[in-house]
Amino acid sequence: MHKAVIAATGLFTPDQSISNDELVHAYNTWVDGWNAAHAAAIEAGEIEPKTHSSSAFIEKASGIKSRFVLDKEGILDPSRMLPRLAARSNDEISILAEMAVKAAEQAIAAWGKPVSEIGAVICAASNMQRAYPAMAIEVQQALGIGGFAFDMNVACSSATFGIKTAADFVASGSTKAVLMVNPEVCSAHLNFKDRDSHFIFGDVATAVIIEAEDQAGPGGWNILGTKLQTQFSNAIRNNFGFLNRTHLPTDMPEPIPSDGLTDKMFVQQGRKVFKEVVPMVSEMIVDHAAELGIDPTTYKRLWLHQANINMNQLIGKRVLGREPSPEENVIILDEYANTSSAGSIIAFHLHNQGFEAGDKGLICSFGAGYSAGTVVLEKRG
């Protein structure tokens, strides 16, 4: 068995960002127009009026202050409230692959080795822009990597599931190094007309290179253990898929509007998710540490999925047995928002400094499924 190491990471951040104030202005403008258009039905008591959002509400509910997106203009257009991402021909690189390649190039540069040493590519993300061919194979071709590639989707837990899969490939000797990428265009499946969720997501891509310890250079992170868990729940769901077209009205225009088909985009029962996921994840982290003979209160840093600041703070408190400091429990969702599978990797990529050899930290993700994954790391000398 070959031990696995996280050797390098990469991050692609779009150059456009939307503040809470900008998002709220667009949403409230849409609300005013919707209420005016349905004034008679509202007055008759047939439907409830839409209510305004606010920056204070968003920050209190989530800790989010802004989010990076691929297209700001389309999202902030009250008549559209959807990013404008032009269709590309089959001869052009796809949007998700392009993002993944940019993150991967940064990771490869930090790694300092030729791509010929990579034997597999995994694209692990919450929403692929097509069913096939696999996004991972397109990334593989764009980077000139040999071996094999495939996609996997475990929603917000995709990155930790991807790291676990890559580590297992390395351990079995199937390949000496794996590139795992997480391109997330969350703005394209978010309903910007839903007050309870219009602020949650942002766009980004991350990349991780996992390689065998016996070929790794100095530095990097030993993977001491990985653990995965799933439990079915409808509390977070996205029903969009190719079967939808078989039961839609034939005269429905494209693109599919959000009103009346909201479950074809991101939907969640936020309070239910909070109550069920926090104890599930906290217990999983503590149990995994015990299996590895580690006291979880000694973790120097937690790189949790960036879902919601209240969830992250409570999980951190339960794991460390006290209120964690900002240095111990990394929060980046104030700037990036929820970026699904990429969130915990962004936190790790941006905030892994200050470790001595032997210091331990934890990457953890959790999300729809329910799904959760833990990756326990030790700083190498």
8 A C-beta contact, residue 4 and residue 212: yes
Q: What integer is the mean pLDDT of 220-245?
A: 87
Q: What is the pLDDT of residue 226?
A: 97
Q: What is the pLDDT of residue 206?
A: 98
- Would the pLDDT of 136 be above 80? yes
pLDDT digits (tens, 9 = 90+) for 254-305: 444 444 556 677 777 778 888 888 999 999 999 999 999 999 999 999 999 9
Please classify residue 260 by burial: count the beta carbons closer than 10 Å to its beta carbon, then call 0-12 exposed, 13-18 middle and 19+ buried: exposed
Give the span between the Cα atoms of 287 and 201, in whole angstroms.
Answer: 30
- Would the pLDDT of 198 be above 50? yes
Tokens of 327: 């240095």
**Residue 297: closest CA among 285, 306, 307, 305:** 285
Mean pLDDT of the chain: 93
**Residue 227: closest CA among 286, 279, 187:** 286
Q: What integer is the mean pLDDT of 313-323?
A: 96
Q: Among 32-41, 101-110, 175-184, 234-243, which is the least confidently predicted range? A: 234-243
- Would the pLDDT of 332 be above 90? yes
Q: What integer is the mean pLDDT of 57-85?
A: 96
pTM for this predicted structure = 0.93
- Return the biggest CA–CA distance within the chain: 73
Q: How confident is the model at residue 252 (pLDDT cuts 50, 70, 90)?
A: very low
Please state whether beta strands 301-304 and 360-367 pair in parallel, antiparallel, or not at all (unpaired): parallel
The CATH number of domain 223-237+261-379, selected from 3.40.640.10, 1.10.1530.10, 3.30.70.100, 3.40.47.10: 3.40.47.10
Please classify residue 78 by burial: count the beta carbons closer than 10 Å to its beta carbon, then call 0-12 exposed, 13-18 middle and 19+ buried: middle
% of the chain beyond a pLDDT of 90: 85
Mention every residue, 6+ apart, whose C-beta is less than 8 A from residue 220: 5, 6, 7, 8, 380
Give the span between the Cα atoms of 5 and 16, in whole angstroms.
Answer: 33
What is the full DSSP assignment across 180-228?
EEEEEEGGGG--TT-TTTTTSB-EEEEEEEEEEGGG--SSSEEEEEEEE
Q: What is the pLDDT of residue 97?
A: 98
Tokens of 232: 């079915």
CA angle 187, 279, 198 (to 5 degrees): 20
pLDDT digits (tens, 9 = 90+) for 155-183: 999 999 999 999 999 999 999 999 999 99
- Would the pLDDT of 323 be above 50? yes
**Structural domain boundaries in the chain:** 223-237+261-379
Q: What is the pLDDT of residue 56?
A: 97
Q: Which residue has the higher pLDDT, 256 or 63?
A: 63
Mention every residue, 6+ apart, whose C-beta is less than 8 A from residue 378: 221, 222, 224, 358, 359, 360
**Residue 341: closest CA among 181, 121, 182:** 182
Q: What is the pLDDT of residue 266?
A: 78
Q: What integer is the mean pLDDT of 355-364?
A: 97
Q: What is the pLDDT of residue 247?
A: 55
Q: Which residues are catalytic?
A: 156
